[in-house]
Amino acid sequence: MKILVTGFEPFHKEIINPSSMILTKLPSTIKKHEIICCTLPVELSCLNMIKDHINKIEPDVVLSLGQAAGRSAISVERIGINLDDFSIEDNKGNKIEDTKIMIDGPDAYFSNLPVKKMVEFIRNKGIPVYVSNSAGTYICNHILYGVRHILKQKGKQQKSGFIHVPMLPEQAIHHSNMPSMSLEMMVEGVIAAIEAIISEEESV
Amino acid sequence: MKILVTGFEPFHKEIINPSSMILTKLPSTIKKHEIICCTLPVELSCLNMIKDHINKIEPDVVLSLGQAAGRSAISVERIGINLDDFSIEDNKGNKIEDTKIMIDGPDAYFSNLPVKKMVEFIRNKGIPVYVSNSAGTYICNHILYGVRHILKQKGKQQKSGFIHVPMLPEQAIHHSNMPSMSLEMMVEGVIAAIEAIISEEESV
Amino acid sequence: MKILVTGFEPFHKEIINPSSMILTKLPSTIKKHEIICCTLPVELSCLNMIKDHINKIEPDVVLSLGQAAGRSAISVERIGINLDDFSIEDNKGNKIEDTKIMIDGPDAYFSNLPVKKMVEFIRNKGIPVYVSNSAGTYICNHILYGVRHILKQKGKQQKSGFIHVPMLPEQAIHHSNMPSMSLEMMVEGVIAAIEAIISEEESV
Amino acid sequence: MKILVTGFEPFHKEIINPSSMILTKLPSTIKKHEIICCTLPVELSCLNMIKDHINKIEPDVVLSLGQAAGRSAISVERIGINLDDFSIEDNKGNKIEDTKIMIDGPDAYFSNLPVKKMVEFIRNKGIPVYVSNSAGTYICNHILYGVRHILKQKGKQQKSGFIHVPMLPEQAIHHSNMPSMSLEMMVEGVIAAIEAIISEEESV
């Protein structure tokens, strides 16, 4: 299998983003499956960029990663919704409100990755993790919904989903009472999630 | 200098306690100063045990460590108060309420360690940390207040204070929405705190 | 217009539920529109019961209310998802996991009530309120998704949506650090929300 | 008995302060005991102002009230500590750090009001409440510690203590995810606390 893993550039006053730092620590293969990494900009054009990657690479799985300030654990997202409603500007200075991502798209798409199995594999490593029912209405949800829509249109049964990670300790020191997680643990968690995906695919 | 560092046994349904696990990872000297470690039981007798250690070792500094479930960062305690008021039982099954620790003691003792400098040294390592104004009214506060009282009575200007650490990730997975910190980062934080104490002593 | 407002019976160790107590305080008309109230059981059969009501009454609007322990403000839900995944038992003792609400239904339905306008009207009364992007995966979400599905099937453009309210102070005293809101304020908030719905309908 | 109840002016971007608004709703007597109210400025001079009041009125009890943003319940403070360490400026623009309130004062004073009984009386009204072990290191703590010190010096066994109240709903709407409590409930809670104080005094 080919597994495309994406992260994001820093945004909203932060100078680093754990989701792209994780990418630099992933191995090039996991259980002999190819891992291809790609960092996306925090703006609407991220969807066109990932679409180009998908068309060029034709990955079997797209796993996107993003930063969720304030969360204490890794969270595996269950669903993306057809809505952009930013509470902060994106990196291009846009603050889009109450706008559909895909004008003719359905209201939402469930991730078709094995969400509960990913949580189980991550927790078995001793890493705090839970299932999240909302990826928000910012760029993270935009990618989660948008990639599901793109893959649905392609009709090749490709899988996709999203994982949020907490802030890094070096980010948390600049905020009051902000939970964090070490980069090493995040990397271990993402690898465990990918192993869950592989295990699911191989068991089918 | 001789620096006595104490941790606690596991308590209240937990099977590990990061504060005693940190002790096993500390070096035997920091900047040529001797580090002596000791794990205490989570019951009132901890104070007699530490008193015996203090009288035998005559440490220059006593730094006690404890676990604070729900906190996201290392917290350096500012003050211990003359009160036992347990919301849970200790490991002997006692749930003491509204009782003075020292019947003739003052209402509270400030830690005489350099609290702000310890925070600064820890934060400079990229580790989330803050000053806490309450160590609670359980065994952690009991030790913080009790050791200050013991050292005051001895009249030798020995220093003491307390650091709370968050739960470990492997503990947090059994709780809902519980922040955590890696053991490696806690150890690095405690070493930084000890370096701050040494720096303060040497600058006097 | 006929506006059907539903609340729920108490559940999960609570002996009252603010959502049904609000119903007893609502006027029989708001701006000359008829308000019809109905309390639902906290179990899957709630959907059949509300379906019967809808078929009998043919309301123009169905506004459902529910209790969200831990939330500090009224929250107007944006979307219901096609999933039952209970973390606690319902009042019949069932703990359904990872099950679709409607086997052939879409992944989610947006509320077609004027969510942002409802928030604006409530906030203008000085009442804390926000838009929520997840109604969870318990009975509240079950009703939100299920009623949208029923109304969509009927094809009469009837509107529906969901509002979560915090715990009442008299409930919060039995929990540690639980935010709450007075019943009077909840009632005022729900009336403001209904006025927003009426204003939207009349402006079309 | 004469009971002096104090509140504070608005501070730090807020245009109202529930603690002074409560004063306007208190009756002039409670169980035949005289209630005298006084609003204090949020700056260090508040202590001189209250000292003048105390010397003029010679109250049997001084109960001070203040606002604690972020708390969900009324909290009865247990202890005031000998430290000013502001994280925000006071209303005079001063941001005092690491400074003793009374240069020769003890490290802390327990409130000598019946803290647990006040909590019990408030909770019996169905109002969320808890005992707090820290009044912070800002002006609220300054008054709590300072008044205890003043009364101790006078040597007349006068009692004093402090109650923190949450934000009002009309304040909370301007903050994200901020718990609040209605003014009516705060007033009822403070009256219940005063009744507890009276009950304690009369039972002695």
Q: What are phi and psi of D147, to 5 degrees?
A: -70, -40
Given a contact cutoff of 8 angstroms between Cβ atoms, the answer to whether D186 and D98 are in contact is no
Per-residue pLDDT tens over the stretch B97-144: 999 999 999 999 999 999 999 999 999 999 999 999 999 999 999 999
pLDDT < 70 stretches in chain A: none
Taking CB atoms and an 8 Å limit, are B169 and A130 in contact across chains?
no
Which residues of chain D have a Cβ shorter than 8 Å from any chain B Cβ? 78-79, 81-83, 85, 98, 106-110, 116, 131, 133-134, 136-137
Distance (Å, whole) CA A116 – CA A120: 6
Whether the pLDDT of residue B204 is over 90: the answer is: no
Per-residue pLDDT tens over the stretch C28-59: 999 999 999 999 999 999 999 999 999 999 99
Distance (Å, whole) CA B193 – CA B130: 12
Which residues of chain A have a Cβ shorter than 8 Å from any chain C Cβ? 78-79, 81-83, 85, 98, 106-110, 116, 131, 133-134, 136-137
How far is C-alpha D197 from the geometric centre of its chain's CA atoms? 14
The arithmetic mean of pLDDT across residues D8-33, rounded, is 97
Distance (Å, whole) CA D151 – CA D155: 6
Taking CB atoms and an 8 Å limit, are A98 and C81 in contact across chains?
no
CATH of the domain at B117: 3.40.630.20
For residue A72, give both structure tokens.
């204490």
The number of domains in chain A is 1
How close, in Å, is residue C166 to chain D by CA atoms? 10
Task: Name the strand (E) or helix (H) holding C199.
Answer: helix C183-203
For residue A179, give both structure tokens.
């939970």
Distance (Å, whole) CA A153 – CA D159: 74
Q: Where are the alpha helices (DSSP H) in chain D?
A: 18-23, 46-57, 115-123, 139-154, 169-172, 183-203
Per-residue pLDDT tens over the stretch C135-170: 999 999 999 999 999 999 999 999 999 999 999 999
Given a contact cutoff of 8 angstroms between Cβ atoms, the answer to whether C108 and C78 are in contact is no
Q: How many helices (H) and strands (E) are present in chain A, helices listed first?
A: 6, 9
How close, in Å, is residue D63 to chain C by CA atoms? 23
Which of B72, B127, B173 lies nearest to residue A178, judging by beta carbons?
A: B72
Chain A residues close to B126, C-beta within 8 Å: 169-170, 173
Per-residue pLDDT tens over the stretch D155-181: 999 999 999 999 999 999 999 889 999
Given a contact cutoff of 8 angstroms between Cβ atoms, the answer to whether C68 and C174 are in contact is no
Which of B127, B179, B184 lies nearest to residue A179, judging by beta carbons?
A: B179
The 8-class DSSP code of residue D35 comes to E
How close, in Å, is residue B135 to chain D by CA atoms? 9
Distance (Å, whole) CA C140 – CA C162: 8
Per-residue pLDDT tens over the stretch B43-96: 999 999 999 999 999 999 999 999 999 999 999 999 999 999 999 999 999 999
The full DSSP string for chain B is -EEEEEEE---TT-S--HHHHHHTTS-SEETTEEEEEEEE-SSTTHHHHHHHHHHHH--SEEEEEEE-TT-SSEEEE-EEES-B--SS--TTS----SB-SSTTS-SEEE--S-HHHHHHHHHHTT--EEEES---SSHHHHHHHHHHHHHHHHTS--EEEEEEE-B-HHHHTTSSS--B--HHHHHHHHHHHHHHHHHHHHH-
The full DSSP string for C50-119 is HHHHHHHH--SEEEEEEE-TT-SSEEEE-EEES-B--SS--TTS----SB-SSTTS-SEEE--S-HHHHH
Q: pLDDT tier at D204 (50, 70, 90 boundaries)?
A: confident
Taking CB atoms and an 8 Å limit, are C182 and D185 in contact across chains?
yes
Distance (Å, whole) CA B164 – CA B53: 21
Taking CB atoms and an 8 Å limit, are D98 and B116 in contact across chains?
yes
Distance (Å, whole) CA C108 – CA C105: 8
The full DSSP string for D146-200 is HHHHHHHHHTS--EEEEEEE-B-HHHHTTSTT--B--HHHHHHHHHHHHHHHHHH
Per-residue pLDDT tens over the stretch D72-100: 999 999 999 999 999 999 999 999 999 99
Chains that touch B (3 or more CB pairs under 8 A): A, D
Distance (Å, whole) CA B51 – CA B6: 12
Taking CB atoms and an 8 Å limit, are A126 and B169 in contact across chains?
yes
Q: How many helices (H) and strands (E) are present in chain C, helices listed first?
A: 6, 9
Taking CB atoms and an 8 Å limit, are B128 and A178 in contact across chains?
yes
Given a contact cutoff of 8 angstroms between Cβ atoms, the answer to whether C48 and C63 are in contact is no
Whether the pLDDT of residue C204 is over 90: the answer is: no
Distance (Å, whole) CA C74 – CA C118: 11
* Strands ordered across the beta sheet of C29-30: C29-30, C33-40, C2-8, C61-67, C159-165, C74-77, C129-132
Distance (Å, whole) CA A86 – CA A92: 13
Per-residue pLDDT tens over the stretch B141-180: 999 999 999 999 999 999 999 999 999 999 999 998 899 9
Chains that touch A (3 or more CB pairs under 8 A): B, C
Q: What are phi and psi of B115, to 5 degrees?
A: -55, -50
Per-residue pLDDT tens over the stretch C60-104: 999 999 999 999 999 999 999 999 999 999 999 999 999 999 999
For residue C50, give both structure tokens.
């509300």
Whether the pLDDT of residue C26 is over 80: the answer is: yes
Chains that touch C (3 or more CB pairs under 8 A): A, D
Q: What are phi and psi of B163, to 5 degrees?
A: -125, 130
Q: Give the residue numbers spanning the domain of D77.
A: 2-203
How close, in Å, is residue A175 to chain B by CA atoms? 9
For residue B151, give both structure tokens.
């050292």
Over the range D81-98, which residues count as b (16 or more CB within 10 Å of their CB) and which as e? bbbbbbeeebbeeeebee
Burial class (CB in 10 A: 0-12, 13-18, 19+), B52: exposed
How close, in Å, is residue C39 to chain D by CA atoms? 24
Q: Round the average pLDDT of chain D to a whole number and report it.
A: 97
Please tell me the pTM assigned to this model.
Answer: 0.96
Which of C82, C98, C133 lies nearest to residue A137, judging by beta carbons?
A: C133
Whether the pLDDT of residue C132 is over 90: the answer is: yes
> What is the rounded radius of gyration, in angstroms, for the C-alpha atoms of chain B?
16
Those residues with Cβ within 8 angstroms of residue C153's Cβ, 6 or more apart along the chain or in another chain: none
Phi-psi bin for B163: left (phi > 0), alpha (psi -120 to 50), beta?
beta
Pairing of strands D79-81, A79-81: unpaired
Distance (Å, whole) CA C22 – CA D101: 49
Among this protein's residues, is D37 annotated catalytic? no
Which of B72, B173, B184 lies nearest to residue A179, judging by beta carbons?
A: B72
Distance (Å, whole) CA D176 – CA A67: 19
Which of D123, D128, D170 lies nearest to residue C126, judging by beta carbons?
A: D170
Q: Where are the alpha helices (DSSP H) in chain A?
A: 18-23, 46-57, 115-124, 139-154, 169-172, 183-203
